[in-house]
Amino acid sequence: MFFDYLMNGLGLGAIFAFIALGYTMVYGIIKLINFAHGEFFMVGAYVGYFCLRDLDIERVGLPQPLPILLDFFVALWAASLVAGLLAVLTERVAYRPVRKAGRIAALLTAVGVSLLLQNIAVQVWGANPRSFPDPRVFHALDDLEGEAQANYYADREFTTTQGETVTEAVLLISQGDVLDATKRASIEDQGFDEVYERVTLSPKSVQYFVILALIGWTPILWFLVKRTRMGKAMRAASEDADAARLMGININLVVALTFFVGAFVAGVGGVAYIATYGKVEPMLGFLPGLKAFVAAVIGGIGSIPGAIIGGLILGVAEAIIPFVLQEVFGWEEAFAWKDAIAFAFLIVVLVVKPTGLLGKPMREKV
């Protein structure tokens, strides 16, 4: 029981960490709380959703589960790339013009961009949540014999009274049905020669996957920041942007690249999030985005290991604290308060240790 909650917390924490990385990198360089970062995450989640739903990579003729893995691989890359490009575009169009206009103007621009992306998403994709498309495994009807091992479906298009064309999954064979000649013939009469079964991902497997992905990404980011020329330029720019410019570093390029990398990683988090929670909606980015910022602050803003540790701490705290309050102190409604607990945690951290766990103390110049 406790272990389940711990795993939930770690899985959620890994998602927070993926988002927090972008916050912390951007803040490190241009000292901007990029409110729109949660929306890059949301757009990544939508792109991943569409890839998983529409690309039909599950059909690739390899033994299972390779096609499903391929499916996720493509969805992750597409989500990350689109989120990254969107971030670069946003930086170019909205943030760069206000970079000199002061911190309040920049932060308010970020809030505006965040609302803008949210509402565009509402207009384009609709405000209703969509459920996560389970990966499908296709079987030719001829391959199936005897008792059905699972529920088998096929997609049918039909026209509603309003004249819209809707695709709907029809249950053709229930689990345990015996597939005899008459049944086969009746299905073929409906015009189907293949059916598919739905593979439900267990939340636990997704959690393992997210945690593994985080473990995989950490050295890549570490290498990028500590061992490449571009990373050196990033670190120089966050140390002192003006001096870095005088040294011939192209600050605009560095900032754009930072936005790209940050949003790229957030795209991974987006796909992981919808796979864990099973739905995607336009307001998806707001709360996780805010909490990821909390995570970045806990870990010490500007520090990459800090973002990862902060994310994991926040995720675990959010899962464990209500659990403890409920089980040990008998407070029934503790889970309804988990968001309030996260924000209270933020305020306490800000007040007690504003630099976070791994942040550098800010010196003040007079």
Which one, 102 or 216, has the nearer CB to other proteins? 102
CA dist 283 and 39 (Å) reads 8
Which one, 127 or 169, has the nearer CB to other proteins? 127
Contact segment (CB under 8 A) with other proteins among 101-109, 160-168, 174-182, 203-211 equals 101-109
Which one, 67 or 300, has the nearer CB to other proteins? 300
Which one, 231 or 359, has the nearer CB to other proteins? 359
The letter for the amino acid at 341 is: I
SS3 label, residue 191: coil
Which one, 118 or 258, has the nearer CB to other proteins? 118
- CB-count exposure of residue 272 (10 Å: 0-12, 13-18, 19+): buried
Token pair 């675990």 is at which residue? 316
**144 is a site residue for other proteins (CB under 8 A):** no
- Selected from 19, 113, 210, 241, the binder of other proteins by CB under 8 A is 113
**297 is a site residue for other proteins (CB under 8 A):** yes
Tell me, by CB under 8 A, how many residues bind other proteins.
46
Contact segment (CB under 8 A) with other proteins among 71-79, 96-104, 146-154, 160-168 equals 96-104
Rounded to 10 degrees, the C-alpha dihedral 252/257/259/264 comes to 170
Rg (alpha carbons) of the chain, rounded to whole number: 24
CB of 140 to other proteins, least distance (A): 45
DSSP secondary structure, 33-79, as one string: --TTHHHHHHHHHHHHHHHHHHS-GGGSSS-TTHHHHHHHHHHHHHH
**241 is a site residue for other proteins (CB under 8 A):** no
- Selected from 7, 55, 70, 122, the binder of other proteins by CB under 8 A is 122
* Token couple for 165: 């064309």
Give the x/- contact pattern for other proteins in 1-40, rule: CB under 8 A: ------------------------------xxx-------
**216 is a site residue for other proteins (CB under 8 A):** no
Token pair 């390779």 is at which residue? 66
Task: Provide the 10 A C-beta neighbour count for residue 124.
Answer: 9
Contact yes or no for 214/18 (Cβ under 8 A):
yes
CB of 101 to other proteins, least distance (A): 4
Task: Please state, in angstroms and as integers, the Cα–Cα distance from residue 342 to each residue in 189, 258, 338, following that order.
Answer: 57, 27, 6
**251 is a site residue for other proteins (CB under 8 A):** no
Task: Please state, in angstroms and as integers, the Cα–Cα distance from residue 15 to each residue in 10, 98, 211, 232, 361, following that order.
Answer: 9, 30, 8, 27, 27
- Selected from 8, 109, 258, 303, the binder of other proteins by CB under 8 A is 109
Binding site for other proteins (CB under 8 A): 31-33, 94, 97-98, 101-109, 111-116, 118-120, 122-123, 286, 290, 293-294, 297, 333, 336-337, 339-340, 343-344, 346-347, 350-351, 354, 362, 364, 366
